[in-house]
Chain A
Amino acid sequence: MSASPAPAAKPTGRRPNPTIAQWRRTFYFLRRNKLAMIGLGILVLLVFVAIASLFYTSQPSDYLQPYQGTFTGNGFNATPSPGIITICTYASTAPVPGPNCYPVNTLFPGVIPPTFSVSPWTLGRLPLGSLSLTPGNNQFFNLFEGLVKAAPWDLGISAVVAVSGASIGLFLGALAGYLGGVMDDIVMRVVDVFLTIPSLLLLIVILAVTGSIPSLASFDARLGILFFAFIITDWPGYARQVRGLALVTREQKYVEAAKASGAKTGHILRKHIIPNTMFPVLVGIAFDIASTPLALGALVFLGFKTIFPTQYFPEWGSIAAFGAQSVGTFIQYCEVAASADCVFPWWQVLLPGMAVFLLAISVNFLSDGMRDALDPRLRR
């Protein structure tokens, strides 16, 4: 060690907190990563929108507005049969079912172009509804407002699901890897089973089964089941990764030293095993936050429009799924007539898609940067 020629700085009185110092150092390295800072910026913006939307109270009619009556312009027509909608390509007066009217067994996809000239708040209306659709009473909401209102739901659900899944996986994986033996066998066999079932299918099966149980029909129960289903599909991935790293960490000299000096299992897990297995968990959390809205959207797209039958909350993935259905129906039924009223509903797909994309890209960039900043070997 070469002696420092500079005189030692005068002690300021308080010892710096080592935890804070380390986070400062991490942030220093993070700040040098341009992509991570972009990700952090987008995430902060989204969180700001989410918090601001909680204070913005719109009139319920602005936000979730039942649409009364039938369309006349491009001839959309609701039949009295619940759940089935008839779409006529041009003449609303055409007999139902007629040569230009097709029964559609999905949600009614509205094709109303955005009206930029009025205000950004009327940026197209997106139809909402449920399978208990009553004729002539489709629900619409303002798309832009819906997207803003969806921000706290999306961020909240994704964060809760990812963090609780990661916690369970981290705890069980570390326990299995460190203790080994019977505990390891039991946990890893359960993990193997859950990793074998495709997660989307497990979600579908859980929601389909619980959807038919009358005592679980309330909104709170449905929300709880949704959380449960997502956490159940998320934790095994973490457990497997953490267990692999815990097996390596267990053999390190410092763990041996801690054991020799009489540290309890809980202490070793908390202080040595879990901090050393955090990197893949961080990446996994980012991946889950990004994929939860996508999975919700896929569920709605595949037909689970009634996950929440009594009350609906806006959610980016689901709104995108409704938009994708509008596009699908547009292709199938609107192109043929080539009516002037038929406008390609790009805004219904692009805007919610952008929201999901921004969330996914920001957490991925940020987690990539965090991993590099936290791991001393990757710093340059």
Chain B
Amino acid sequence: MKLWIFVVRRLLLVIPVVIGVMTITFILLWALPPQQEFVVINGSPRGGLTMPCADNASQTCNIPAYQKFLDQYRANPPYQWAKYVYNSLTLNLGNTDKNSQASISYGLAGQSIAVTTVLSWYLPYTLELAAFSLLIILLVSIPLGNLSAVNRNRPVDQAARIVSFSGIAIPGFLLATLLLYGVVDASGGLTKVCNGNSFAYLNWVGSWPDPHCFAGGALPSWIGPNQQTYPTGFPTVDALYNGSFYFAAESVKRMVLPALIIAYGSIGVLLRFVRSSMLEVMNQDFIRTARAKGVSERVVIARHAGRNSLTVTITILGLTFAGFIGGFAVIETVFQLHGIGLLLTRSIIQPFDYGLIFGTTLVFTYIVVAANLIVDVLYSFLDPRVRLG
């Protein structure tokens, strides 16, 4: 099979998955009681309907208009499902709740704006953080996994095992808080106070420096009021594009700790798989052949066996990507980074912002679908047996 045929076939497989995810969110939206009607508008199954109850919180307004409303919104589910799927695919995810904590956090309290707009402010940061932590994961887990397989049951292997198990067993929020405290304490800035807050703390937390606390005064014009940047939206890229090395360095520095903590959890899972697959490969005949014909041990491990662990790493990354990206909510909250994880956290402060909750879920799901697609294509590129066999 040619590569492009494989890609097209894989793309077609995405459609039922995406529609299935939307069906699940549709069912959950359907389960929402009708007093939440004001919250989710366009993207909801009851799009376009306005509840006639004057008192939003009241569940006992038994007026005919309310009954009619109920009948209307429960009418014709297949049509409403189709409309919901269409709206979601065209990224019409409804509006935010004007009373929610989230709308206060992005400075538009009392205004209801499109969920897609809000997501577009927060999404690039998450993508950049994900790329950064993926880089760390790959750079650590492949060499360490190979090393522990080659030195089986030696100290290196035991150390790798400790890293792996503790990565699985330590809660991310705990590690993040303690590490943050440790760094703040170690950088010795606890006595430095700026605008009522500890300065060293602010050096490591948040997407950008506090405008009052850095020498330059106000933030540059290419950083918007909601920390979104122009023109691409990716913070470090934009900082370099606008020629500010200071802000690029700030952005990277503030991503180091979160990316390390996110990577630590994934490395724990990955290491075990890389190690076991490497052990399996080392017993294969072609390794013995390579050694017999006099290839140096370093080349045998790096070229003959190591390539195999790369494909395993990519497969497992694809399988665990949903968990990996789900962990962003916690880490972005601890470090106050302006990604969609933080947005999700703010949207589940009561009163819930259902538009944002469902919008964020869909966007996270799209990311996972795209990542799985990339993984499969990469895998078929690295291991031609997948598409040929």
Contacts and interface: CB of A to CB of B under 8 A. Distances in A.
Tell whether A pairs with B: yes
A339 to B, nearest CB: 13
Contacts of B198: 331-332, 335-336
A131 B352 CA distance: 13
Interface stretch (A70-78, A146-154, A246-254, A317-325): A317-325
A211 to B, nearest CB: 8
A197 interface: yes
A198 B31 contact: no
A208 to B, nearest CB: 5
Given A198-B323, A214-B33, A298-B330, A317 B177 contact: no
Given A303-B349, A328-B334, A364-B165, A335 B190 contact: yes
B205 to A, nearest CB: 9
A209 B28 contact: yes
B349 A210 contact: no
Residue of B165, B170, B171 with highest tally of chain A CB at under 10 A: B171
Given A197-B24, A198-B326, A336-B197, A317 B17 contact: no
Contacts of B330: 298, 301-302
Interface of B, helix, strand, loop or mixed by DSSP: helix
Contacts of B333: 301-302
A302 B380 CA distance: 38
B89 interface: no
A209 B358 CA distance: 10
B209 interface: no
Interface stretch (A9-17, A22-30, A113-121, A352-360): A352-360
A144 B295 CA distance: 60
B139 interface: no
Given A196-B365, A196-B372, A303-B349, A208 B354 contact: yes
Nearest to A240: B319
Given A212-B36, A335-B201, A357 B329 contact: no
B177 A324 contact: yes
Contacts of A205: 25, 28, 357-358, 361
B326 to A, nearest CB: 3
A100 B196 CA distance: 8
Contacts of B292: none
A328 B101 contact: no
Interface in B339-389: 344-345, 348-350, 352, 354, 357-358, 360-361, 364-365, 368-369, 372
Interface in A179-199: 189-190, 192-199
Nearest to B194: A336
B109 interface: no
A169 interface: no
B284 interface: no
B348 A208 contact: yes
Interface residues of B, number: 63
Classify chain A's interface size: 35 or more
Interface stretch (B76-84, B92-100, B178-186, B248-256): B178-186
Contacts of B319: 195
Contacts of B201: 331-332, 335
A129 interface: no
B327 A200 contact: yes
B106 to A, nearest CB: 15
Contacts of B369: 196
A204 interface: yes
Residue of A320, A336, A361 with highest tally of chain B CB at under 10 A: A336
Given A190-B20, A353-B174, A201 B361 contact: yes
A63 interface: no
A287 interface: yes
Nearest to A293: B171
Interface string B14-58: 001100110111001101110010000000000000000000000
Contacts of A194: 24
Nearest to B170: A357
Nearest to B101: A105
Nearest to B36: A212
B21 A197 contact: yes
A155 interface: no
A196 B21 contact: yes
A243 to B, nearest CB: 14
Contact of B348 (A196, A294, A302): A302
A175 B365 CA distance: 28
Interface string B138-177: 0000000000000000000000000001101111111011
B119 interface: no
A209 B36 CA distance: 10
Nearest to B353: A208
B354 A214 contact: no
Contacts of A192: 16-17, 20
A331 B184 contact: yes
Interface in A328-345: 328, 330-332, 335-336, 338, 344
B66 to A, nearest CB: 16
Given A201-B364, A290-B169, A209 B31 contact: yes
Nearest to A359: B169
B322 A196 contact: yes
Given A205-B25, A360-B169, A328 B322 contact: no
B59 interface: yes
B136 interface: no
A212 B20 contact: no
Interface in B279-333: 319, 322-323, 325-327, 329-330, 333
Interface in A270-290: 287, 290
Contacts of B372: 196
Contact of B190 (A287, A291, A338): A338
A200 B329 contact: yes
A121 to B, nearest CB: 24
B20 A204 contact: no
Interface in B216-233: none
Contact of B178 (A200, A327, A332): A327
A321 B330 CA distance: 11
B193 interface: yes
Contacts of B62: none
23 contacts: A105-B101, A189-B16, A193-B17, A199-B322, A205-B361, A208-B348, A209-B31, A212-B33, A297-B171, A297-B174, A301-B330, A301-B333, A302-B329, A302-B330, A302-B333, A324-B174, A327-B178, A328-B334, A331-B198, A335-B198, A336-B196, A356-B169, A364-B165
6 A-B pairs closest in CB distance: A198-B326, A193-B20, A360-B169, A200-B326, A324-B177, A198-B322
